[in-house]
Structure 1
Amino acid sequence: MIPSRGEQREDAVLRATLELLAEIGYGSLTMDAVAARAKASKATIYRRWSGKAQLVTAAIERHTAAADHPAPDTGTLRGDLLGLLRPMRDRLTGESAALVLGLLTAMRDDATLAAAVRARLIGVKRDAFAPALRRAAGRGEIAAGADHELIAEVASALLFSRLFVTGEPLDDAFLGRLADAVILPLVHGATP
């Protein structure tokens, strides 16, 4: 199905917003800059979004919706974990890295923006682990009741630390160590 002119215009505006966020950050982002990058008028943008926070929220939601993938079912918890960690790593080391860095400071000062980022960028990761853990519990690999939110937070924090703090590789060997030395012991230590 061919997108309508309005859908094409919206896509161009949201794509321009994400590009500018990654390049110059939230604080320097202006509606003028988005309009120029998207080749749209400011009036067109303001008809759809009332301000910068709403526009950025929509762009984040579009970006993360496009990146959402169902948890893989490999038949083992370890395989499912690696199937979740690889795309998380790939998104983080790709365009999401610059996007996240562009938003971190702004989140402290804008509660609406912070809520949107937490719900989408972080919430999606938290929810991604739940199906894999339920399947593992159903297969008898783990006890039911593992804290998928804590597991996602720990995994995300270690990926983030490697990329932005230590600069150490985020290769498949590290993902295997993350699964084997951190996540699986955390899951096996869970109590329902």
Structure 2
Amino acid sequence: MPERRHGAALEQALLDAAWDELLSGGYARFTMDAVVKRAGTSPPVLYRRWSDRDALVRATLVHVLRKNVLKVPDTGSLREDVLAILRDINTNRVQLMTVMSVYLASYHLETGTSPAELLDPADTDRKQAVDAIYDRAVERGEAGAERLTDRIKALPFDLLRHEILTTYAPASEQVLEEIVDTMFLPLVR
């Protein structure tokens, strides 16, 4: 007889089952019943936590992204910090980005939302992690605070995401350096 799960262990098992369900069939085939079956639990257990599949999808993505939090480098240089994060994403998150983009396309079509609307970056601590490298760069005099708008701060990551989602492969080191040296750094100095 399987051990009965409670609290955080149960919630993690449910979210892991939901992620596995998303991976196996995408949002189009994602149902609460399939998650219940995969998690080996009952519908009331799931519905007490999430009222519908959209809420469960959002919670699942937050769960997965929190498990894959970026390491915040402190190399002493804005260039090297941004490159370190891009390399981490490029090495460890290509599959996650591709899966989220491809499997959630029907979610965006059905709900009329964009990928940016699906998650608040604060939910996964991504914004705070990236802001830390920019704050240090301003303190070191490497970047002007007035130039670091949200769009500019997101630019290297948006460009890498675009590269990955158009090739379904990691970017070359040359592409990473071009993103940072040619497109990003001139905008912040």
TM-score (norm 2): 0.81
Shifted more, 32-41 versus 148-157: the winner is 148-157
**Alignment match, 1:136:** 137
**Alignment match, 1:5:** 5
CA distance in 1, matches of 2:113, 2:170: 34
- Give secondary structure in 1 for the equivalent of 2:146: coil
Shifted more, 88-97 versus 132-141: the winner is 88-97
Partners of 1:17 and 1:56 within 8 A in 2: yes
**Structure 1 counterpart of 2:46, one-letter code:** I
1:75-134 CA distance string (max 9 Å, x none)? 011111112212333453133421232123312432689676231499855554322122
**Alignment match, 1:21:** 22
TM-score (norm 1): 0.80
Q: Any residues of structure 2 matched to 1:9-158 within 5 Å, and which?
A: 9-69=10-70, 71-110=72-111, 117-120=118-121, 125-158=126-159
Shifted more, 176-185 versus 116-125: the winner is 116-125
Partners of 1:76 and 1:136 within 8 A in 2: yes
Q: Which runs of no fewer than 5 residues in structure 2 stay unpaired?
A: none
Shifted more, 135-144 versus 88-97: the winner is 88-97
Q: CA deviation at 1:70?
A: 5.0
Q: CA deviation at 1:50?
A: 1.0
CA distance in 1, matches of 2:90, 2:182: 17
- Give secondary structure in 2 for the equivalent of 1:5: coil
CA distance in 2, matches of 1:62, 1:84: 20
CA distance in 2, matches of 1:34, 1:111: 23
Tell me how many residue pairs correspond in the alignment.
185
CA distance in 2, matches of 1:160, 1:17: 24
**Structure 1 counterpart of 2:64, one-letter code:** H
Q: Which runs of no fewer than 5 residues in structure 1 stay unpaired?
A: none
CA distance in 1, matches of 2:168, 2:63: 29
**Alignment match, 1:173:** 174
Percent of matched pairs sharing the same residue = 30
CA distance in 2, matches of 1:184, 1:175: 12
**Structure 2 counterpart of 1:159, one-letter code:** L
